[in-house]
Amino acid sequence: MASKNSAPEGLHRNHRQRLKNRYLLEGLSGFEPHNILELLLFYTIPQKDTNELAHLLLNRFGSLSGVFDAPVAELVKVPGIGLHTATLIRLIPDLWSAYERDRSRIPRQKVNSTARAAEILAPHFIGRTTEAVFAMAMDSSGGLIGTQLVAEGSPGRALIDVRRICEWAIEVRAANIVLAHNHPGSNHCYPSGDDCNATARVAAILKGLDVCLQDHLIFCGGEYLSMADNVAFAACLDGRQTRELTIQKRLIIKKIPPLSRGD
């Protein structure tokens, strides 16, 4: 004889299986944010309806990306979210970042355009809620040598370590360097005066080492700015100081290109 709870449990199991089947057939393209979270939570919360919990998370953090970017200490404040589940949630952007970086590591792939540089560097900023600076090294023919984290800091400031960049450039025998950093929590990619001055300092010292600073990319959301593509910042890449551009609408801002396996 069925227990009083057998029907609800059966419905619950069927709902989980239907959602899993839907994902296997369609992927996530037709899923609402709460559906995505609900599906993820299945794997750490096996005996509970995760739909309500998914909505609680979205209400608390504002969006799907907000949930994944939330610190573990904040996630566990949501009723029903323990450390095990919070760890899984925080793991998602880090897994995505590691996956994208791994896909871009084709030995000596050519970095032959600004878009290609952005494509390689963008994954390093996935899930980051604090500012970070990466350097990308190429040989004299534009072949990718590698990328390196060279500074990280508070949500709005990461001091560029010029010495660290130069030492790494020498270590990997780079002929060309591209710098990149992010503006977390901002709605624009515009370089600040500090960004311009730091870029000029790095370029000047690298030039003395016979290394060319080809570009400095600034990422924000799904967009990026290339100093090399904006004539106002050409002096910075040549090691000369320049004033911060105040007429922001004249800047060229581009969408981050999708990752490819092009060489």
pLDDT in tens, the chain (263 residues): 344 444 455 555 688 899 999 888 778 878 899 999 999 999 999 878 899 999 999 999 999 999 999 999 999 999 999 999 999 999 999 898 888 777 666 556 889 999 999 999 999 998 888 899 999 999 999 999 999 999 887 655 557 788 889 999 998 999 999 999 999 888 788 888 888 889 999 999 999 999 999 999 999 988 999 999 988 888 899 888 765 544 445 777 778 776 554 44
Helix count and strand count (H, E) for the chain = 10, 6
User: Alpha-carbon distance 181 to 196, whole Å?
Assistant: 12
What is the reported pLDDT for 139? 93
Beta-sheet pairing, 144-152 with 212-220: unpaired
- Round to whole Å and give the CA distance between 195 and 216: 9
* DSSP 8-state assignment for residue 73: H
Could you tell me which residues come within 8 angstroms of residue 153 by beta carbon, excluding any fewer than 6 positions away? 130, 131, 132, 159
| Residue whose structure tokens are 């005066």 | 193
pLDDT of residue 107: 59
Q: What is the pLDDT of residue 39?
A: 94
Q: What is the pLDDT of residue 247?
A: 46
Give residue 221's region: left, alpha or beta (phi > 0; psi -120 to 50). Answer: left
User: How much is the pLDDT for 25?
Assistant: 78
